[in-house]
Amino acid sequence: MSDFTSSRSTGHGAARRPFGARPQGGRPSFNRSSSHGSSYGGSRGGRSGGRFSRPAPALDISRFINKTVVAEEVVVFTPEHHFADFAIDTRLKTNIQKKGYLDPTPIQDRSIPHVLRGEDVVGIANTGTGKTAAFLIPLINKVLSGSRERVLIMVPTRELAQQIREELREFTPGLGIYAATCVGGAAIGPQMGELRRNPQFVIGTPGRLKDLLERRALNLSTFTTAVLDEADRMLDMGFIADMRTILGLLPAPRHTLFFSATLSPEIERLIGEFLINPTRISVKTRDTSATIEQDIVRVPRGANKLDILHDLLVQPEFNKVLIFGRTKHGVEKLSKTLCDRGFRSESIHGNKTQSKRQKALDLFKRDHVQILVATDVAARGLDISGVSHVINYELPSTHEDYIHRIGRTGRAGKKGKALTFVEA
């Protein structure tokens, strides 16, 4: 199929197209071939301040295409347990049932018994498979079983921290369990106030946790359990030194859990340093879900990339779209431009305060906006139901980043589409 060519003018002037209006000109076409020979390289910057960074490998564009529909026998997972079977507090079982959980997912089915026995666990599973409940449920039970149990959960992003806290709250009504969320981009005073209540769960990003430790607002000597969720992403963001410092301040012996979709050599070394004979559980079947259709959108030389994006977004099936860009400034500019063109769009990136990021995410989750434009801050861990399309408006730095980006669609067995813009 031929590359897309726009016949419209690139100057839009002051006139605003109403949302849903189909512009004149040709529609974009997707490349049906995987023979594109280009590759994309470059370096990924770490966090500001000269923290960890590493060069990114070249990307094979053909890996962004997965159009083949394979007729295969669907293997139905049969859990060994039901939630009612687990040796956990009856009050917690009641809350799990009220939440609508009957049978555990594979990672939950295989992990929960080991965590209940107090074993260190390394859990590897595809994104969107229920890793959060796999560690929250047994750790809530642990807190209920011992009055002095406290749990520290480290995560890479503010959004993931908030999501874990919300899920914790859904599991614990009436149980007298409290949590503090400690993340950057939000006022530190209220977080220090939450810590003074001695919550059983502290969920935070490494940078803010380290800041609170330096202010003596957080004392890790009373914590008996640590969870690192999406540890490889924290490594990519330059948090490896902070992770080591924080884990080193926890008393020994400790109960330590690592849950992630991927594990890098650096994280393997961290596991070797801080975990004791961990039980390794992997239920990862493939890099990308079979429910995600992947394709590329070629942008011919001289074509207006924004017009091509517009022509996609006005199509009715693009009803809940997550668009990824590379930079904070570029993401913000793209979101505002889409709003000027009549789309309902919000953005999240590192320059936004936590409250603004959370508001944008909530609007997208509740379908009050059609489009969320984001940096890779939204690529890991976030559970957003009903995302119809993920669009890589700008190429990711690595194939691993690509996998996590497109994992925001096609979740919980639903179909999704991932499109990657490739400039000729």
* Environment class of 146 (CB within 10 Å of its CB; exposed 0-12, middle 13-18, buried 19+): exposed
CB half-sphere exposure, 59, CA atoms < 13 A: 21
Is the pLDDT reported for residue 1 higher than 60?
Answer: no
The Cα–Cα gap between 193 and 311 comes to 49
pLDDT of 28 above 80: no
* Per-residue confidence (pLDDT) for residue 413, from 0 to 100: 66
Question: Tokens 């997972």 correspond to what residue?
Answer: 77
Q: What is the predicted pLDDT for the residue at 378?
A: 64
Arithmetic mean of pLDDT, 18-39: 38
Query: What pLDDT does residue 62 have?
Result: 61
* Residue 326 · residue 394 · CB < 8 Å: yes
SS3 at position 103? coil
Backbone angles phi, psi at 250, to 5 degrees: -75, 145
Other residues' Cβ atoms within 10 Å of the Cβ of residue 302? 8
Using the predicted structure, report yes or no on whether residue 46 has a pLDDT greater than 80.
Answer: no
Residues 6+ apart with CB under 8 A from 94: none
**Confidence at residue 200, expressed as pLDDT on a 0 to 100 scale:** 97
The CATH classification number of 30-66+288-423 equals: 3.40.50.300
Res. 180: pLDDT tops 90:
yes
Over 90: is that where the pLDDT of 372 sits?
yes
Residue identified by tokens 């500001």 is: 48
Secondary structure, 3-state, 141-206: HHHHHCCCCCEEEECCCHHHHHHHHHHHHHHCCCCCCCEEEECCCCCHHHHHHHHCCCCCEEEECH
Task: Round to whole Å and give the CA distance between 17 and 227.
Answer: 48
pLDDT tens by residue, 195-220: 999 999 999 999 999 999 999 999 99
Question: In angstroms, rounded to a whole number, what is the distance separating the alpha carbons of residues 76 and 290?
Answer: 14
What does the pLDDT average to over 3-18? Answer: 35
Which DSSP helix (H) or strand (E) runs through 231?
helix 231-236
Residue range 14-19: mean pLDDT, rounded: 36
The mean predicted confidence, pLDDT, of the chain is 81
CA 40 to chain centre: 23
CA atoms of 20 and 27, how far apart (whole Å): 14
| Residue 273, pLDDT above cutoff 80 | yes
Tell me which DSSP letter residue 67 carries: -
Closest CA to 136 of 100, 167, 177: 167
Q: What are phi and psi of 255, to 5 degrees?
A: -105, 120
C-alpha span between 220 and 206 (Å, rounded): 13
Query: Structure tokens of 70?
Result: 């394979």
Q: Where are the domains of the chain?
A: 30-66+288-423, 83-282
Lowest mean pLDDT among 33-42, 256-265, 269-278: 33-42
CATH of domain 83-282: 3.40.50.300
Are residues 120 and 257 in contact, defined by beta-carbon separation less than 8 angstroms? yes
Q: How far apart are the first and last CA of the chain?
A: 15
Among 31-35, 233-237, 291-295, the least confident range: 31-35
Q: What is the mean pLDDT of residues 333-355?
A: 92
* Tens of pLDDT, residues 88-131: 999 999 999 999 888 998 999 999 999 999 999 999 876 667 88
Q: What percent of the chain has pLDDT over 90?
A: 51
| pLDDT of amino acid 9 | 31
Q: How far apart are CA 252 and CA 120, in angstroms?
A: 13
pLDDT value of position 57? 46
Nearest one of 419, 412, 401 to 321, comparing CA atoms: 419
Kindly state the percentage of the chain with pLDDT values over 70: 78
Q: Using one digit for the tens of pLDDT, what is the confidence trace for 228-267? A: 998 877 877 788 889 999 999 999 889 999 987 777 788 8
Give the distance, in angstroms, between the CA of residue 349 and the centroid of all CA atoms in the same chain: 13
Cβ atoms 249, 175 nearer than 8 A: no
The predicted structure's pLDDT at residue 284: 65
pLDDT for residue 341: 95
Same fold, 30-66+288-423 and 83-282: yes
